[in-house]
Chain A
C-alpha cells in the first residue's frame, strides 16, 4: 500500500502552453473520429494514444486495457490566440493597468508607488490577510494613469465589451495583440497583479494551445442500433477543430480581412462554449435536438455537478426507502421494517464459536426471513445462498466465515427523512420486522423528522460494523435526542390523537372499573392498580388521573397551568372550574388535565421534567407508555369529527348575523364620517389609512364576536372544541371559520383593493368602501361562500400559497449558505469557538458557554425548580 501523505499547501496557477504541450501525448489535427470500419483515426479526437474505452483494444500510450488505462491528455494548436472566458475580467484589468507603448509594456506606476504596493502585499501576506483589496487598489490607481511614467506614451481608453471583446478607442484589440502586450510585461511587475511569475504569466490567459481531455473523460456510447453517439465535449472539440482548420486555410489563401475576422470570432465562440456553455451574452451551443450541450463548467457546477453531486454526495448500498405509517404500539426508538425489506438488507456477521449454530440456521433458511443472502468463505469466495443450495452451504460453514444475514428485530439502523435540516433528522432506531410494505414509526417521533403520514417516504440505512452501531447508539439513539438543541425542550412527544387521548383520560369525572383500567394499561408493564378512588355498590372504580399516574416515574413533583387555562385575572388554583391547574405530588396527578402543555412535543412540561431529571431510558419508557395509554384511551372512548359537529343552533345563527350586521352599520358610520370629513386621522396616518385601519379593526372584532358565540353554543364536549382547547389540532379560529364567519380576506395585510377602477368586481358600485366590496366573508365554510366571497377567498388563499413557496426556497438557500459558512467552527474544550487555524470567533460559546440542549428552554438553570426542590412546595404556590 502506498503511504498516506498530508497535503502541505496548494498553489494555483495558469497552465502554460509549454506545459500543455509537455503533458500532451498527441497533437490532434483532424476533426474526424472514426474511419469507415469504426476504427479510431490517428491524430483524431479518438486517437488510441488518448486512452481506450472499447473493450479488446489496448492504449498506445500506457499499454493498458480499458478500465486500467487512466487516459492521456492531447492538445490542439490553435491558429490564432483566443481569450479564455474564465479570465476576461482579469485581462481587462491588466490591459488597463499596463502601458501600450511599443517598447514598454510596464505597469503604469512609478517605482516608488510600485514598491509601496509590493511592501503592503508582503505585510498582509505575513499576517495571513487576503491581499485582494491591495491588488484591487493597484488596478484602480494604475488604470487612471493616462501617460506612462516610464516611456511617456499617451494612453487610450480601453473598453471591455461582454463577453470577449476589448476596444481601444474605436480599434478592436485582437487576442493576438493583447497577448503581445502581455508578453512585454516584465517579471518584476507580475506580483502587482497578485500573481506568481513561477506559475502564471498573464499572456497564458490567451490560449494558443488547447488541452484535449482524454477519451476516458468523454466516452462515446454505442446505441442499440450499433450507431455511435459521442459525448458533448467531443462534439465541441470537433467544432473547434473544424473552424480552426478553416481559419488556417482561409488565412493562408489570403482571404479578405473581414472573413478572417468572422472566422476568428467563430473560433472564439467555440472555445468559449467548450469551457462554459452558460456565459451571459453568448448563445448556448446546442445539440441537434435543441438540447444545450453540457460542457466543462456544466460538469462541475451546481447541485448535480462533480463537487456537490459526485464528490460530496453519493449513492449508497444497504439502504431502503418506502412510505411511512403510524404504529403507536411501537416504542419511539423502534422502526417497523417490512419483511420484504428485511430479506433484502443484510448485516455481515463473522462466524465464531458462540454463534455458529445460529448462523448455520440462518444459512439453512436462506432467502426466507430470518435467513441469510450470502456466505463468504475463508478463502474469500462469495456464495449466494438460494433455496436450492441452502442446506448444502449450511454444512460447509466454519469459524471465520462471514454470513450476510437478514435484518432482524433489535438491529440498529439509521432512519432519515429529507430535508435533513437538523441533527434529529437522522436518528438510530431498533428494527422490528413487520408484515406489509411500509415503515412504521411511533407518531411521537414525527416532530423531529417533521413527518406526517400523507404519503411521506423515509430512508433507512443499516449499520455494517460494530463501531458504526456503537457510535449510532451513543450519539443518535432516539432517546438521546428527545431534547432539541434548538430550544432546550423536548422535541419528541405527544401530537394529535395522543394529546386528545391524554386529555380525555385525565378529565374530571372519568371512572373505570378494574377490567377497563387494566385494559388501558395493557401495553405498559403495570399490572397492579393503586387504592381505588371510589367504591360504588362495593365495586371499585379508578379515575383517569390515577391511571395516568401509574406511568409516571417515581418522585415527580410539578405544578403548572394546563393548555386549557384561560388565564383568568384571579386564578382559583386547585379549585379551577376547568381543571386547568395541574398538581403532581410524588408522581400522583392530583389536579388538572394532561394536554399539550403537559405531554405535547415542544411544550410538554411533564415530558420536559421527566427527560431532564430521569435517565434517557426512563424518559423513553414514559413516552412509550404515554402513547400506548393515550391511544387506548381515545379508542375506548371513541372520538370522531363530522360535518354535524359544526352545527350551531338557530339562536346562535341569529346572534352571528346580528354581530355581522352591527359591524356593517359601524362601517357605514365610519364611511359616512369619512365622506363628511368628520373623521379624525390617527397619529402618523393619512385619512384613508385611518379609515382602513378602523374598518379592519371593526371587522376583526365582528369575526371574534361570532367566534365566541359559536364556541358558546357548541359546548366543551364537541370534538373540534376538545381538539382546539387541548392543543391537539386546530385552533378556535379554525372553528370560527368553519361554523360562524370566515372573516376578512387580505392581501399584504390590507383589505382587497385591486381589480377595476374604483371597485374590486363589477358586482359592486364604484367607490363602495363597505365590507362586502372589499373581501369580507360573512359566511362560514359550512354555510358556503357566495360567488364574490368565494373569489375574494381565492385571492387571499393564493397569496398564502405563493408566500409559502417563496419562503421555503429562500430559506433553503439561506440555510445552505449559513451551513457552508459555519461548518468548520468548533467549540473547543476551553469553551472558545474557533475556526480551523485556531482563530478565535467567540471567546465563550454563546457568550455564556451554555449548551442549549442541556439548558432549560435556553436558560442555564431553572432557579424556581431548584428552590422548589429544596424548600418544597406544600401550598402549590410555586409554578414552573
Chain B
C-alpha cells in the first residue's frame, strides 16, 4: 500500500479532525477570547491535517474521547 492511500483518521487512536469555516472559527475565538496565536498549534505537515486538507491559518476542531468527560472538543490553529 502506498503511503498516500492510508487515511490516518480511520485509525481508532486518531481523533476526529474537522476544518472549521471562518464563521465558526470566529465564534470559537470569541467564545474563548483568544487570538489565533494563543490557540494550540498543529503543523500543516501533520498527517491528520494533511488528510483533511487544512492550510496554514485554518482552525481545526479535534473531537476526542476523554477519560473524564467522555467526549471532548478542542481546537487547533494550523501553522506552517
Q: Which residues of A contact B (CB under 8 A)?
A: 127-129, 830, 832, 834, 837-844, 846-848, 850
Contacts and interface: CB of A to CB of B under 8 A. Distances in A.
Q: Which 9 A-B pairs have the closest CB atoms?
A: A848-B69, A848-B68, A847-B69, A847-B72, A847-B66, A839-B38, A843-B74, A847-B68, A838-B38
29 contacts: A127-B37, A127-B79, A128-B37, A830-B33, A832-B32, A838-B34, A838-B38, A839-B37, A839-B38, A839-B39, A839-B40, A840-B32, A840-B34, A840-B38, A840-B39, A841-B40, A842-B74, A843-B32, A843-B73, A843-B75, A844-B72, A846-B68, A846-B69, A847-B66, A847-B67, A847-B72, A848-B66, A848-B68, A850-B68
A130 to B, nearest CB: 12
Contacts, number: 40
Contacts of A840: 32, 34, 38-40
A842 B38 CA distance: 11
**Majority SS at the chain B contact face:** mixed
B32 A830 contact: yes
A835 to B, nearest CB: 9
B68 A837 contact: no
Interface in B22-72: 32-34, 37-40, 66-69, 72
Q: Which of B33, B37, B39 has the most CB of A within 10 A?
A: B37
B80 to A, nearest CB: 8
Given A837-B38, A838-B38, A844 B69 contact: yes
A834 B37 CA distance: 13
Given A830-B32, A847-B72, 12 more contacts: A830-B33, A834-B38, A839-B37, A839-B39, A840-B32, A840-B40, A843-B74, A843-B75, A844-B69, A846-B68, A847-B68, A847-B69
Secondary structure dominating the interface of A: loop
Contacts of B66: 847-848
A848 B73 CA distance: 11
Nearest to A835: B38
Nearest to A128: B37
B70 to A, nearest CB: 8
Interface of B: 32-34, 37-40, 66-69, 72-75, 79
B61 to A, nearest CB: 11
A837 B37 CA distance: 10
Nearest to B38: A839
Contacts of A847: 66-69, 72
* Most-contacted residue by chain A among B32, B39, B68, B69 (CB, 10 A): B68
Contacts of A129: 79
Contacts of A128: 37
Nearest to A837: B38
B37 to A, nearest CB: 6
A143 B37 CA distance: 33
B28 to A, nearest CB: 9
Contacts of A850: 68
Contacts of A837: 38
A840 B34 CA distance: 8
Nearest to B33: A830
A838 B36 CA distance: 11
Contacts of B79: 127, 129
A840 B73 CA distance: 13
A846 B67 CA distance: 9
Contacts of B68: 846-848, 850
A486 to B, nearest CB: 15
A603 to B, nearest CB: 22
A29 to B, nearest CB: 54
Contacts of A841: 40
Contacts of B37: 127-128, 839
Nearest to A120: B80
B56 to A, nearest CB: 10
A838 B75 CA distance: 15
Contacts of A839: 37-40
A838 B74 CA distance: 16
Contacts of A127: 37, 79
A852 to B, nearest CB: 10
Contacts of A848: 66, 68-69
Nearest to A842: B74
A281 B74 CA distance: 49
Most chain B beta-carbon contacts within 10 A, residue among A839, A841, A847, A850: A847
Nearest to B62: A843
A844 B68 CA distance: 11
A850 to B, nearest CB: 7
A122 to B, nearest CB: 13
Nearest to B73: A843
B60 to A, nearest CB: 13
A832 B72 CA distance: 13
Contacts of B38: 834, 837-840
A128 B79 CA distance: 12
Nearest to A855: B68
Nearest to A839: B38
A839 B75 CA distance: 12
A284 to B, nearest CB: 44
A297 B76 CA distance: 41
Nearest to B70: A848
A129 B69 CA distance: 31
A129 B38 CA distance: 11
A526 to B, nearest CB: 42
A128 B34 CA distance: 15
A129 B39 CA distance: 13
A832 B68 CA distance: 15
A846 B34 CA distance: 19
A8 B39 CA distance: 24
Contacts of A843: 32, 72-75
Contacts of B74: 842-843
Nearest to A852: B68
A830 B66 CA distance: 20
A124 to B, nearest CB: 9
A128 B35 CA distance: 12
Contacts of B73: 843
Contacts of B34: 838, 840
B49 to A, nearest CB: 17
Nearest to B31: A830
A129 B74 CA distance: 21
A830 B37 CA distance: 19
A120 to B, nearest CB: 9
Nearest to A834: B38
A436 B75 CA distance: 62
A204 B79 CA distance: 36
Nearest to B64: A847
A830 B33 CA distance: 10
Contacts of A830: 32-33
